[in-house]
A = this chain, B = another copy of it.
Amino acid sequence: MNTISLERLFSPRSIAIIGASHTPGKLGYDVLKNTVQYGYKGEVYPINPTASAIAGRVCYPSVKQVPGNIDVAVIAVPAVAVASVLTECGEKQIPFVIIISAGFKEIGEEGKQHEQELLRIAEKYHIRLVGPNCLGLINAHNQLNASFTAGMPKAGNIALISQSGAMNVAMLDWAKQSQLGFSKILSVGNKSDIDEVECLNYLATDTNTSVIMLYLESLEHGQAFMEAASRITPSKPIIVLKAGASQQAQRAIRSHTGSLTGSEEAINAGFKKCGVIRAATIEQFFDYGLTFSTQPLPRHDKIVIITNAGGPGIMAVDAAQYTKLDIFKLNTNLQQLLKTQLPAAAGTKNPIDVIGDASAERYEHALNVLLADKTIAGAIAILTPQTMTQVNLTAEKIVSAAKRYGKPVLASFMGGAAVQSGRDYLEEHQIPNYETPERAVLAMDQLIKQVQRKIKPFKFPKISSHNVITAQNHPQISTITAEQLLMKYKLPVLRSQLIKTVADCNTIKQFPVVIKIASRDVIHKAAAGAVLLNINNVTEAQRAFKQITQHVHKKFPKAEIEGMLVQKQIPLSRKAKEVIIGMKRDVAFGPVIMFGLGGGMVELLHDVTFGIAPLSKLEAEHMINAIHTAPLLVHNDKAAIVQALLAVSKLALDYPNISELDINPLMVHPTGKGAHVIDVRILPK
C-alpha cells in the first residue's frame, strides 16, 4: 500500500470514470453526469471502449490511453469486469480507485474471493481502494460529486463517512431540507482497504472539517479507532451512529457472567474512552451534527430557557432532568434587569416566560440581559405562534444576540407554516431549530458534555507476547496458579491452601476456615453445595471434605476433583459487599474490563459497567460510580476496588493469551479496610 495522503483522493486534479455511459439510468451515466455538472475544475476522462465521446468529452477505450496523469479512477462496470480495469489502473499508476460496483463480499463466499483478488491487484500496483459496493465521494468545497447520488450539498464543515450507501442517500436527501453543510462525504462500502480509521486520521488535519459524522455497521479495528479518535475529539467532535446496540440485551440474557462482556459493550466503553459521541437514534445523529457544526462550545453548564408559553418551557425542563444542563434559578439582580422591560406577569426565574403576547423586543431584551452575564453559558429560545407573535423579527433578534455574545443559542419555533419563515431565517444564519424543545435540550446537553470530557490523546502499549500462562489441557487455570498470578499484581488474594486428601486436613494450621471444592469443572461452587463456612477444627474439616466430595460427585459425576481449597475465614463487617471484576478480550478493542455488584446480584440485575484497558484511575472511578446500585457502596472501600481494577487492567495487557478472567467475589470491606479476592477464574486462549 502507498502512504499518499487522502488529500489527493478528496481533491483530485483529474478523474477517470470507468464505465462512463451515454444511457440515462446506468451507473456510469449518473456518475459521469454528477462529476461534471456541479463545477468541478479538474480534468474528467470518460472511459468506455465503445464510445468516442460522452457528454461532449473525448472518451478513451482504457485509462491507459488517457494522455495525462489520473489521480482518481471511479469504476462503475459489472463485477466480473472490475479486476481487469483495476489492473489497467495499476499500469497507469493511478493512486486512488473508487469501486462503486457491487457484487463482492456482501453477496457471499464467491464475492469475497473476488474482493480478495482486487486487493491483490491493488497491493501489486500500490493502489489505494475505496469500496467496493459504495456510492463514491463528494467534496463540496471543490464542487466535486464523484458518486451516483444526485445533488451537491451545501458546502460546510461536516465530514460524513458512511458504511451504508442507503443511509448516505437518505441523509443527503434530508440534509437538503436543512442547512447542514458538508466538507467531504465518503461512502466506504465494504471497506476492503480504506476504512473509517484512515478517514479519521486524514480528517484530523483537514481544515475544512470541524465536525465528523460516522455511520458504522461494523468496527474491526477498535484500538486504532480509539487512538485516532482520542487525538481528534478534543478539538473536533466525532458523532457516530452505530446499528446493533440491542445485541447487548440478547447477550446479557446468557447466564454466565463472563458473557456479559462482548463487542457492543466494548464499542460503548471504547467510544467513551476516546470521547466519541454515540447517537442513539437517527434523529439524534442529525440533531447533534447540526448543533456542533453551527454552535460555539459553552463555557459551563448553566443554561437559560426563554419561551412565550409556559407549557413548552416546562417540557424543556422535564427533558433536562437526566442531562448535564443546569436550569438554575436566576439571581435577583438578573431578575430585576429582566423585569425592567418585561410585563409584570412574565416569569423571570428560569424558564423565562416572556408570555403569550411577547414582541420580538421582549426576546431581544431577555437575550441581551442573559447572554451578557458571565454566569450564563447559553440559551434555548422557544416560540409558539400566537396572535401577537412576530415570528420573523424574533428570529432576527435571536440571530443578532447569538452573534453578539458568541454563546450557543438553540431555537425551537413550534408549529408548521406559521413559523416556517422564522425557522428558515434562523438556519440560514447558523441558529439550529428543533421541531420540539426537548430535542433542543438534548442537543445543548451534548455541547456541554463535549466541554466536560477531558480526553487526552493516547496510544495503546505494544503487546509483549513473552508472558504466557497455560492451563494444561483444561479450559481453566487452576485456582492456586490463578491466585499466584493475581498476587504478582498485588491483588489482595485471600490465599487458598490445596489439600488433596481427608488426611491432609491435619495440615490446616489456623481455624476457623472456609473449605471449598478444588475443581475446574465446578464453576458456581456455592450453588453446587461445594462451599462450607465456619469450619472450626480438624474433625469438622474432615467431615466437610467428605460432604463436599459427595455433593460434587452427585451433581457433577464427571468433574475432576483436585481436592479441597482451604481459606482463612475472615471476619466480615455487616457492611462488607461482594463485587465482581471481570475481563474479556474483545477481538477489536482488546481487554474489556467489567465491574458490578457481585454474587447472585450480577446475573439478576445486569447492572454492570465496562472499560477498556489500560484503565486510568479516573476511568476506574467512573466505572464504579456508573452502576445504578453504586449508592450501596457508599460505606465501602472504593479505593481498594480502584486498585483491583487497575491491577486487572495491567495483568490483562501483560498476558495477551488470557481470554477471560473473573474475580467473583471481590469482598469489599468498609472504607479504609481494603478488599479480598475470594475466588478467581482465568481462561487462557
Indicate if the CB atoms of A604 and B634 lie closer than 8 Å: yes
Indicate if the CB atoms of B167 and A384 lie closer than 8 Å: yes
* Interface positions of A from 165 to 185, Cβ below 8 Å from B: 165-167, 169-171, 173-177
Give a binary string over A436-464; 1 marks a CB under 8 Å from any B CB, 0 the rest.
Answer: 11110000000000000000000000000
- For residue A304, which residues in chain B have a CB less than 8 angstroms away from its CB? none
- For residue A309, which residues in chain B have a CB less than 8 angstroms away from its CB? 164, 166-167, 170
> For the complex, what is the distance from the CA of A601 to the CA of B601, rounded to whole Å?
15
Interface size for A (C-beta < 8 A) is: 68
Q: Nearest Cβ in chain B — how far from A362, in angstroms?
A: 14
Indicate if the CB atoms of A345 and B415 lie closer than 8 Å: no
Indicate if the CB atoms of A173 and B419 lie closer than 8 Å: yes
Q: Nearest Cβ in chain B — how far from A355, in angstroms?
A: 9
* Segment of A219-227, A238-246, A477-485, A488-496 engaged in the interface with chain B: A238-246
> For the complex, what is the distance from the CA of A314 to the CA of B247, rounded to whole Å?
10
Among the listed B164, B170, B249, which residue makes an inter-chain contact with A385, where contact means beta carbons less than 8 Å apart? Answer: B170
The secondary structure that dominates the A interface is helix
Q: Nearest Cβ in chain B — how far from A504, in angstroms?
A: 30
Q: Please give the count of copies of this chain that the complex contains.
A: 2
- For residue A415, which residues in chain B have a CB less than 8 angstroms away from its CB? 169-171, 173-174
Most buried by B among A436, A438, A439: A436
* Segment of A333-341, A615-623, A625-633 engaged in the interface with chain B: A625-633
> For the complex, what is the distance from the CA of A52 to the CA of B27, rounded to whole Å?
72
- For residue A628, which residues in chain B have a CB less than 8 angstroms away from its CB? 605, 607, 628
Given A148-B387, A283-B435, A416-B176, A310:B164 Cβ within 8 A: yes
Indicate if the CB atoms of B283 and A436 lie closer than 8 Å: yes
- For residue A241, which residues in chain B have a CB less than 8 angstroms away from its CB? 315
- For residue A249, which residues in chain B have a CB less than 8 angstroms away from its CB? 321
Given A385-B169, A605-B632, A174:B416 Cβ within 8 A: yes
- Can you list 28 A-B contacts (CB < 8 A)? A30-B387, A148-B387, A163-B311, A164-B309, A166-B309, A167-B384, A169-B384, A170-B309, A170-B312, A173-B415, A173-B416, A174-B414, A174-B416, A241-B315, A243-B318, A244-B314, A244-B318, A245-B318, A245-B321, A281-B315, A282-B312, A282-B315, A282-B437, A282-B438, A283-B435, A604-B631, A605-B631, A629-B629
